[in-house]
A = this chain, B = another copy of it.
Amino acid sequence: MRIPPSEQATHLAERLAHSGLRNTPQREVIYRALMENCDHPTADEVHARVRPAVASISLATVYNCLETLVQCDLVRQVNFERGPSRYCVNLHPHAHFHDEQTGATHDIHIPAELMKRIRDILPAGFSAKTIELTFHGQSPDHPVT
């Protein structure tokens, strides 16, 4: 299920080109960092992770690149309450479970059938572009992050 790094890079390059954007080392390394470890890091955490590879990268650039990736539909931005934004490379429709103790985030699969039922509670005239479903509580002992 994991895509080899070369294909990741190709995918990124394609999507950027598709939006008329350039493929830069910073964007590549950030995208790779997210793909390697599919937890849900904050911009700060991403910054820390990519520094070894691109020592001079600034936090502003990390924010810029992450926004670009989100715009290209390569990455999903996730928010819990008013905490720092987190970034997620799982593009399948899914919910998030936020563990209040550990702060860990778990992806929860949403069956297509349920997705449809959820969409159906909207009264006529409402058209939803995105749907967010978030659980807060306690996750099992063995944290999968």
Contacts and interface: CB of A to CB of B under 8 A. Distances in A.
Nearest to A94: B121
Count of identical protomers in the assembly: 2
B133 A132 contact: yes
A137 interface: yes
Nearest to A106: B126
Nearest to A99: B126
A140 B125 contact: yes
A109 B129 contact: no
Contacts of A130: 135-137
B109 A121 contact: yes
Interface in A112-145: 114, 117-118, 121-141
B121 A95 contact: yes
Contacts of A136: 128-132
A82 B127 CA distance: 22
Interface of A: 79, 81-82, 85, 95, 97, 100, 106, 108-111, 114, 117-118, 121-141
11 contacts: A79-B79, A82-B82, A97-B128, A100-B129, A108-B121, A109-B121, A111-B121, A114-B121, A125-B139, A128-B137, A130-B136
